[in-house]
Amino acid sequence: MTEDNRAMPWRRRNLVLGGLAASLAGLAGRARAITDDEKSLYELAKKEREVTWYTSQILGETAQRVVAAFNVVYPDVKVNLLRASGQVLYQRVMQEISMNALQADVISLSDTGGQQAELKEAGQFLQYRPKRSAEVMPAFRDIDPDGYYHTTIVALTVMVYNTKLVKPEELPKTWADLADPRWKGRIAIGHPGFSSLATVWVTKMNSLYGWGFMEKLAKNDTQVTRNINDTTTLVTAGERAIGITPAPTARPGVAKGNPIGIIYPEDGSILAASPSGIAKGSKHPNAAKLLMEFLLGPECAKVIVEDYGDSIRADVPSPGGKSLDQIKTVAPSAEESKKMGTLVEPFRTLFGF
Amino acid sequence: MRIGRWGARRPDPATLVFLLAGLILTFIVVAPLLRLVWSSFQEARGGAFTLVNYVVAYGTPRHVTALVNTLAMGAGVVVLSSLFAAPLAWACSRTNMPARGFIRLSVVGAFVTPPYLAAIAWILLAGPNAGWINQAWFAISGTHQSLVNVFSYWGIVLVMSTNLFFYLFVYLTSALEMVSSESEEAANILGASVLQTAFRVTFPLILPAFLGGLVVIFLQSIALFGVPALLSPAAKFPVVTTQLLQFFEYPLRVQVAAAYSVPLVAITVLLFSLQRLALSRKGFVSVTGKGGERRPIALGAMRWPMFAYALAICTISVFLPWLVLLQTAFSRAWGAGLSFGNLTLHNFTMILWELGLARDAMIRSLQYASVSAFCAIALGLCIAYIVARRLVPQANILSVLCMVPLVIPGIVLAIGFYATYAPPPLALYGTATILILAFVTRFLPLAYTSCGSAIRNIHPEMEDAVRILGGGRLVALRRVVIPLLKRPLVGAWLLVFVPAVQELSTAVFLVGPQTRVISLILLDFSEQGNLEMVAAASCLLLLIILFVVVLGFRVIGRDFMLRSA
């Protein structure tokens, strides 16, 4: 399956996106009906007046728009947003906890569960089962059986290719195809030592095809980038023909008319799900619960999709019009998530960085 | 006699000012630094004393290789930057080379290009497969063997040098402009050629500025993060900053990162001792109370070759990268190539009108950076003066303290700041104050070295004259030193202001919801793969900064940096 901008000129694509947005707006209009639970939560939350949200799951711009969307529905609860990148935010949370001065009410870390499990074990999360968690796709429910944290964001890792350098008939269909010697010197991948999405990808490749796959990539003179988003830059520039990239990084380039296309591999786009939880010592517990409900609801999903992210809800399709349950995805198992870091050293030895 | 009584009764008020400066230094450098060193000996959990962090940091051969690589890279940058900066500074300030004003302005352009952007531009220019230079080479030579490869040791060194040589250029220029022509003319009269005079007379006089500039460039290059982040993985050339970043990935090892950074502090101390040793028994006073004239040296037939060299340097460091960035900024899709349909102003209108976030952040960055630059210069000037005039014993310690922040990687510095000042009683987290304090600390070395090299060039005899006539040290500073230093001080202010506007690594950790600065917005854009917006925002920043440079020159009423005569 490919998303190729050559098939669809920029202007027309914009029209299509516009139409999509319009239908989404209608959908959100229907879903906006606040549930009775949310109504009573909102009444309680109004008295608390504000809620502090720490997130590394989405970029600053998107986070601001999520907050704006929240305030359309709940104008009387002010959201104090702190957005930082993954490890910086995690470090910040740990610092604040060690000083007994955690400011956050809701914590959304961009990790596939390891950090959240750690916080849960340390007794830092409040147990809460949002009503809306029953509305998300089944695959994303109950990531924590005890209900301390819940999947709020999923990141999809796919292939991006340069349309000037690769003919449609030559396109790789699966991850396994990339080991073919004809891709020698033409692939770019992210480094698992710096990028958690790259770690998930390497882990999944290893469990699907064994370490031999990575060895073949190394032999194929594959270029490693520190930040997994940089692969899209290299592919757009034509420096490399194919890159492993987060879908939200490549999608805007496709929409704008850069010479790139997206491949959703047949053996499964890699899915990394990141959960959020409410801080145990939250001073605004009701506002925090309200925000948790909102993060799982359709209005939030709509904002995420508009910024080229993927939706956890079947009723809000991802960019490109399909929802995640309509394309093949694979995600690391709980077992794999735990051992995630162990491949970094072998990778560094293999790729010499 | 009245004067003597006055002096004997009251302590020199300057002493109080200097004490205050020392106190501030303790607050913004010593405390976060001690916190850093302390945590390098702490266990991650519990905080008990341990040496394990050092074992982890240096027990792996790869980590040691990264340190060696870093030193090699720093050395390369120092050599290449000298080749760039020294001839240009000399030609621009002392000779009759054509278009000196234009060359100066171009060099400023090199400085205001963020290293991270320069690296992206150079990937597009010198990528081994699709770089513009290589494509031209393929077309000319008919081969498929690439001519240049940015993903290499020299690639990294070149991209860093294109940004960092500016520091050396500024130090050298301001020193050269203070050297009078008399000694050079004396050499000429005695039969020395232009080059001989430059090497035997002029160069030795500006040695302090030269060494100061080299040290700054070296230290900056080893702590720089943006360029290696993009280039060194593919070059298979790990350096300290990329290694440090790994300690910030999961599992987080802040204490190990601290331990890994401590040797950098030691390197700083070492370099400064060496610099002092090299300068210890020589005098470099070139500005005295006795006047002195400065006339440009006639290059004769060498005028045009010199200009060609300067133009080549500016092409490498400014014109080529900005050609790429401009193309990107005005494109709908930067990878779609040059065509009329691909041209747009949309990226600019987005930033100026539609994205309030980006515009506000830009204004905020400019505000914080100007305040930080003023504070850093004030502090740097006080301390440079104490050190140069040896007003307190062991003034040298102050000098080292001023320089140490240069090598503490921004993110590590930010953590020290956060741990020291975020919790009560100060509770500075999320305020503009903590950002400005961190910026002042981070750029104090730049302020200090430029103030220092300027002060070393001024003979104390003029201040002595003030004091003999009854003025205190503050009067001497206000009425003699500062007026003499006006131009170097404006230069120093810009030197701090420009990187402070773009500062990312400390800001990442210290910003709160209300204090987001432009560098973070750029980071977001680039993580979205939105290079068009990154380039457009950078173009706007460049315009603003150039405007500030021109404004600085108006305010000072002199021909600073833009001299065209």
Chain A residue with the nearest C-alpha to that of B121: A237
More confident site: B25 or B6: B25
A 206-225 residues with CB below 8 A of B?
223-225
Check B415 against A91: CB less than 8 A apart: yes
Check A229 against B335: CB less than 8 A apart: no
Is the pLDDT at B215 greater than 70? The verdict is yes
Q: Are A241 and A187 in contact (CB under 8 A)?
A: yes
Nearest neighbour of B528 by CB, restricted to A59, A225, A259: A59
Q: What percent of chain B is modeled with pLDDT above 70?
A: 91
Highest-confidence range of A158-167, B45-54, B358-367, by mean pLDDT?
A: A158-167
Is the pLDDT at A312 greater than 90? The verdict is yes
Q: State both tokens at A319.
A: 């960019």
A 67-106 residues with CB below 8 A of B?
80-82, 84-88, 90-92, 94-95, 99, 101
More confident site: A297 or B455: A297
Give residue B239's pLDDT band: very low, low, confident or very high (50, 70, 90).
very high
A 271-300 residues with CB below 8 A of B?
none
Report pLDDT for B172: 87
Is the pLDDT at B563 greater than 50? The verdict is no
Calculate how close chain B gets to A36, using CA atoms only, in Å. Answer: 32
Report pLDDT for B282: 55
> At B503, which amino acid appears?
E
More confident site: A320 or A247: A247
Question: Around B10, how many Cα atoms within 13 Å sit in the side-chain half-sphere?
Answer: 9
How far is B427 from B435, CA to CA, in rounded Å? 13
Q: Is B45 helix (H, G, I), strand (E, B) or coil?
A: coil
Residues A75-81 have a mean pLDDT of 93
Is the pLDDT at A169 greater than 80? The verdict is yes
Which residue is listed with tokens 């503050």?
B474
Contacts of B523 in chain A (CB under 8 A): 85
B447 vs A75, A129, A255, B452, CA distance in Å?
47, 55, 45, 8
Report pLDDT for A222: 95
More confident site: B104 or A293: A293
How far is A222 from A191, CA to CA, in rounded Å? 11
Please compute Rg for chain B using Cα positions: 24
Is the pLDDT at A293 greater than 70? The verdict is yes
pLDDT in tens, B452-463: 877 877 778 888
Average pLDDT along chain A: 87
More confident site: A74 or B460: A74
Least confident of B160-164, B180-184, B243-247: B180-184
B530 close contact with A: CB closer than 8 A: yes
B254 close contact with A: CB closer than 8 A: yes
Report pLDDT for B12: 63
Contacts of A13 in chain B (CB under 8 A): none
pLDDT in tens, B500-525: 998 887 887 788 777 888 888 887 78
Report pLDDT for B556: 61
Contacts of A224 in chain B (CB under 8 A): 233-234
Check A252 against B151: CB less than 8 A apart: no
Q: HEC states along chain A?
A: CEEEHHHCCHHHHHHHHHHHHHHHHHHHHHHCCCCHHHHHHHHHHHHHCEEEEEECCCCHHHHHHHHHHHHHHCCCCEEEEEECCHHHHHHHHHHHHHCCCCCCCEEECCCCCHHHHHHHHCCCEECCCCHHHHCCCHHHCCCCCCCCEEEEEEEEEEEEEECCCCCHHHCCCCCHHHHCHHHCCCEEEECCCCCHHHHHHHHHHHHHHCHHHHHHHHHCCCEEECCCCHHHHHHHHCCCCEEEEEHHHHHHHHHHCCCEEEECCCCCEEEEEEEEEEECCCCCHHHHHHHHHHHHCHHHHHHHHHCCCCCCCCCCCCCCCCCHHHCCEECCCHHHHHCHHHHHHHHHHHHCC
Residue B46 makes CB contacts below 8 A (sequence gap 6+) with none
How far is B413 from B405, CA to CA, in rounded Å? 8
B252 close contact with A: CB closer than 8 A: yes
How far is A193 from A199, CA to CA, in rounded Å? 7
Calculate how close chain A gets to B67, using CA atoms only, in Å. Answer: 13
Is the pLDDT at B84 greater than 90? The verdict is yes
Residues B127-152 have a mean pLDDT of 90
Is the pLDDT at A123 greater than 80? The verdict is yes
Report pLDDT for A203: 92
Is omega for the bond preceding B251 within 30 degrees of 0, making it cis? yes
B 277-306 residues with CB below 8 A of A?
none
Chain A residue with the nearest C-alpha to that of B62: A353
How far is A318 from A297, CA to CA, in rounded Å? 14
Least confident of B203-212, B291-300, B374-383, B441-450: B291-300
How far is B243 from A353, CA to CA, in rounded Å? 10
How far is B60 from B76, CA to CA, in rounded Å? 25
How far is B57 from B69, CA to CA, in rounded Å? 15
Check B234 against A257: CB less than 8 A apart: no
Nearest neighbour of B248 by CB, restricted to A87, A191, A230: A87
Q: State both tokens at B499.
A: 């990187």
* DSSP line for B120-171: HHHHHHH-TTT-HHHHHHHHHH---S-S--SSSHHHHHHHHHHHHHHHHHHH
Check B335 against A253: CB less than 8 A apart: yes
Q: What percent of chain A is modeled with pLDDT above 70?
A: 91
Q: State both tokens at A191.
A: 């480094």
Residues A76-82 have a mean pLDDT of 92
Nearest neighbour of A258 by CB, restricted to B249, B333, B415: B333
Is the pLDDT at B88 greater than 60? The verdict is yes
Q: State both tokens at A129.
A: 């089962």
Residues B19-23 have a mean pLDDT of 82
Highest-confidence range of B22-26, B235-239, B349-353, by mean pLDDT?
A: B235-239
> At B321, which amino acid appears?
P
Report pLDDT for B388: 83
Residue A247 makes CB contacts below 8 A (sequence gap 6+) with A155, A156, A157, A158, A262, A269, A308, A310, A319
Is the pLDDT at A6 greater than 50? The verdict is no
Chain B residue with the nearest C-alpha to that of A118: B251
Give residue B420's pLDDT band: very low, low, confident or very high (50, 70, 90).
confident
Q: HEC states along B339-361?
A: CHHHECCHHHHHHHHHCHHHHHH
pLDDT in tens, A256-289: 899 999 999 999 999 999 999 999 989 999 999 9
Nearest neighbour of B230 by CB, restricted to A101, A230, A340: A230
Q: State both tokens at A337.
A: 């998530």
A 111-170 residues with CB below 8 A of B?
111, 114-115
Give residue B10's pLDDT band: very low, low, confident or very high (50, 70, 90).
low
How far is B48 from B63, CA to CA, in rounded Å? 24
A174 close contact with B: CB closer than 8 A: no
Q: Are A301 and A313 in contact (CB under 8 A)?
A: yes
Report pLDDT for B145: 85
Chain A residue with the nearest C-alpha to that of B358: A61
Is the pLDDT at B292 greater than 70? The verdict is no
Report pLDDT for B284: 53
A 230-249 residues with CB below 8 A of B?
230, 232-234, 236-240, 245, 248-249
Check A95 against B418: CB less than 8 A apart: yes
Check A91 against B254: CB less than 8 A apart: yes
Is the pLDDT at B441 greater than 90? The verdict is yes
Nearest neighbour of A257 by CB, restricted to B127, B336, B355: B336
Least confident of A313-327, B201-215, B401-415: B401-415
Please compute Rg for chain A using Cα positions: 21
B477 vs B18, B291, B435, CA distance in Å?
12, 19, 30
Q: What percent of chain B is modeled with pLDDT above 90?
A: 22
Least confident of A28-42, B345-359, B469-483: A28-42
Give residue B241's pLDDT band: very low, low, confident or very high (50, 70, 90).
confident
More confident site: B481 or B149: B149
Give residue B341's pLDDT band: very low, low, confident or very high (50, 70, 90).
confident
Paired strand residues for A274: A153
pLDDT in tens, A194-224: 888 898 999 999 999 999 999 999 999 999 9
Is omega for the bond preceding A192 within 30 degrees of 0, making it cis? no
Report pLDDT for B564: 30
Check B333 against A253: CB less than 8 A apart: yes
Put simply, whether the predicted model's pTM sits higher than 0.80 gets the answer yes
Check A115 against B521: CB less than 8 A apart: no
Q: Is B295 helix (H, G, I), strand (E, B) or coil?
A: coil
Contacts of A217 in chain B (CB under 8 A): none
Please state the separation of Cα B87 from the chain's center in Å: 19
Phi and psi based region of residue B427 (left: phi greater than 0; alpha: psi -120 to 50; beta: remaining):
left
Burial state string for B228-243 with b = 16 or more CB within 10 A and e = fewer than 16: bbbbbbbbebbbbbbb
Residues B134-152 have a mean pLDDT of 90
How far is A263 from A168, CA to CA, in rounded Å? 11
Report pLDDT for B558: 47
If 0-12 CB within 10 Å is exposed, 13-18 middle and 19+ buried, where does residue A50 land? middle
Nearest neighbour of A239 by CB, restricted to B130, B245, B513: B130
Chain B residue with the nearest C-alpha to that of A90: B252
Q: Are A321 and A100 in contact (CB under 8 A)?
A: no
Phi and psi based region of residue B236 (left: phi greater than 0; alpha: psi -120 to 50; beta: remaining):
left
Average pLDDT along chain B: 82
A 303-332 residues with CB below 8 A of B?
308
Report pLDDT for A61: 80
A9 close contact with B: CB closer than 8 A: no
The ipTM of this complex is 0.79
